């Protein structure tokens, strides 16, 4: 009897410990259930300005929310292509990615793609004036209504986009017949074709091998992205044609955004904009460092002096744009007027 009693007491104690452990685990799960887990995904590689600024955004959001938000960063297309991620956003996942007007046009907001029209903007001031306008706010609202996406911030400089090639390019004439990698949107394909090149959509992660195997002849991107991707190892000619001042935005799904409290929504937007200011502050310095590395690695750099020559060469793009992309009549003139204000 004594042995049975002892066994019973041990079993009872073990059961109590187990119940306490389960209760503790449940409390931990309940606490963690209050934490909002966010995945921020992008194509850029670790060390690029966008990645460094995303690290800053993570730090700001987690600290200023007192742990309400937990952020995981996924650089280098770890969660898939931009299109894959945007589909996840629309489906309601708590994922955030960067995108621009050309991608939003493919989602039904046709006028937004004018932000990627070649050589339309000649400075950051030009594109920032547009982003601060009522016109821009209207595009954001239309995006929300047509695709279920919410833009969190529109102040991030992605960079001035130039062209790196395997043979010298010093004029629009030199672009003819070249296969140039572009992101997966129709507008950038067409803007390259207006210069006589074949715009070739391709994931950024596939570009190095494609250049190495001469599947493509070059790519266009900001200098820091080019250098960080080591594309200069297989292509040695950089034309600073500045065809796009790429002001990018960060977006999430409307379903996820509306699941947050007004205070959480405001904090998410606020920290995104703050990280954008940080990004813009380091971009110029990082671009200069990247250019210096390219020159050390024997990249030949051609600085365009007559930008009008390139704009004129791209006119076939503008002649077809309103009809092809469904732009509002006079859209380019509207944008030029906003820039001139």
pLDDT digits (tens, 9 = 90+) for 281-314: 999 999 999 999 999 999 999 999 899 999 999 9
The answer to whether 241 and 66 have CB atoms below 8 angstroms apart is no
User: Would you state the pLDDT for residue 160?
Assistant: 97
The answer to whether 36 and 70 have CB atoms below 8 angstroms apart is yes
Percent over 70 (pLDDT), the chain: 90
User: Would you state the pLDDT for residue 4?
Assistant: 36
How do strand 237-253 and strand 300-303 relate by DSSP bridges?
A: parallel
Distance, in Å, from the CA atom of 57 to the CA atom of 272, rounded to the nearest integer, reads 6
Q: How confident is the model at residue 162 (pLDDT cuts 50, 70, 90)?
A: very high
User: Would you state the pLDDT for residue 149?
Assistant: 98
25, pLDDT greater than 50? no
The answer to whether 72 and 158 have CB atoms below 8 angstroms apart is no
pTM: 0.83
Q: Give the mean pLDDT of 207-213.
A: 97
Write the pLDDT tens digit of every residue in 243-294: 999 999 999 999 999 999 999 999 999 999 999 999 999 999 999 999 999 9
Q: Give the mean pLDDT of 139-150.
A: 97
Average confidence score pLDDT of the chain: 90
Percent over 90 (pLDDT), the chain: 81
Helices 134-147 + 331-340 axis angle, to 10? 140
Write the pLDDT tens digit of every residue in 26-40: 334 334 558 999 999
Q: Helix, strand, coil proportions of the chain in percent (round to 5)? A: 55, 20, 25
Between CA 317 and CA 323, with CA 320 as vertex, the angle to 5 degrees is 140
C-beta neighbour count of 20 within 10 angstroms: 10
The answer to whether 103 and 182 have CB atoms below 8 angstroms apart is no
Q: Give the mean pLDDT of 147-161.
A: 97
């Amino acid at each position: 009897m004594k042995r049975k009693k002892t066994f019973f007491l041990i079993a009872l104690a073990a059961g109590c410990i187990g119940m306490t452990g389960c209760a503790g685990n449940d409390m931990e799960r309940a606490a963690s259930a209050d934490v909002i887990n966010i995945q921020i995904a992008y194509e850029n590689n670790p060390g690029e300005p966008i990645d460094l600024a995303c690290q800053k955004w993570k730090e700001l959001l987690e600290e200023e929310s007192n742990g309400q938000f937990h952020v995981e960063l996924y650089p280098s297309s770890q969660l898939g292509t931009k299109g894959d991620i945007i589909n996840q956003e629309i489906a309601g996942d708590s994922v955030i990615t960067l995108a621009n007007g050309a991608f939003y046009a493919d989602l039904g907001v046709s006028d937004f793609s004018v932000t990627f029209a070649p050589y339309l903007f000649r400075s950051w001031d030009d594109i920032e004036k547009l982003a601060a306008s009522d016109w821009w706010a209207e595009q954001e609202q239309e995006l929300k209504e047509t695709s279920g996406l919410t833009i969190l911030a529109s102040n991030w400089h992605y960079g001035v986009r130039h062209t790196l090639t395997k043979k010298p390019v010093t004029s629009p004439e030199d672009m003819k017949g070249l296969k140039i990698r572009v992101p997966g949107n129709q507008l950038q394909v067409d803007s390259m074709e207006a210069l006589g090149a074949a715009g070739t959509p391709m994931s950024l992660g596939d570009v190095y091998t494609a250049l190495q195997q001469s599947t493509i002849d070059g790519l266009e991107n900001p200098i820091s992205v080019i250098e960080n991707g080591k594309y200069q190892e297989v292509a040695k000619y950089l034309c600073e044609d500045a065809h796009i001042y790429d002001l990018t935005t960060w977006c999430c799904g409307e379903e996820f955004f509306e699941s947050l409290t007004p205070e959480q929504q405001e904090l998410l937007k606020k920290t995104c904009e703050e990280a954008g200011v940080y990004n813009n502050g380091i971009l110029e310095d990082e671009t200069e460092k990247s250019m210096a590395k390219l020159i050390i690695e024997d990249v030949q750099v051609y600085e365009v002096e007559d930008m009008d020559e390139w704009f004129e060469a791209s006119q076939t793009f503008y002649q077809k744009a309103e009809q092809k992309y469904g732009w509002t009549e006079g859209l380019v003139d509207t944008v030029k007027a906003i820039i001139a204000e």
